[in-house]
Homo-oligomer: A and B are copies of this chain.
Amino acid sequence: MFSKSCEYAIKAMIFVAQKSKDDNRVGIKAIAKGTDAPEHFMAKIMQDLSRRKLIHSVKGPNGGFYMDKADLKTSIASIVKAIDGEVIYTDCVLGLKVCSEKNPCPVHFEFKEIKKNLIKMIENNTIADFNDKLDSGKFFLKNK
């Protein structure tokens, strides 16, 4: 569904949101460990998210990544767009360069509804929405 990078990005955003209450910051090591991701690879993704202003960072001692109130309102869709681009919005399921209502591939209308629901869902769910869930202890960002 999403690229590996995007999976890590979503998990990292949820993780940092969780940890950055009371102006706390989280280092890349903790993020990697907490999301079961390779540290250096995750560092790259965090840089991407930071450059795109989905998250904030501070260098130096006591530095790390954190999210402010506004960042918490980020939707899953924004993360997906930042990392994977607009593919799930625009791309044809069968790979046609032009696939539209007027020039549809054979499965165009069958997938239309599915895609619409998927997009609606990722746009309506924000990082903040997942904070409470994680607090409950019934949801997980990694195994074991």
Contact = CB atoms under 8 A, between A and B. Distances in A.
A139 B104 contact: yes
A43 B133 CA distance: 48
Contacts of A93: 1-2, 7
A104 B138 contact: yes
A7 B95 contact: yes
B141 A125 contact: no
Contacts of A56: none
Interface stretch (A19-27, A46-54, A65-73, A113-121): A113-121
Nearest to A121: B110
Given A110-B121, A114-B121, A121-B110, A140 B103 contact: yes
Q: Which 10 A-B pairs have the closest CB atoms?
A: A7-B95, A106-B130, A106-B139, A7-B94, A97-B143, A114-B118, A98-B143, A106-B133, A11-B94, A1-B93
A59 to B, nearest CB: 28
Contacts of A105: 139-141
A4 B106 contact: no
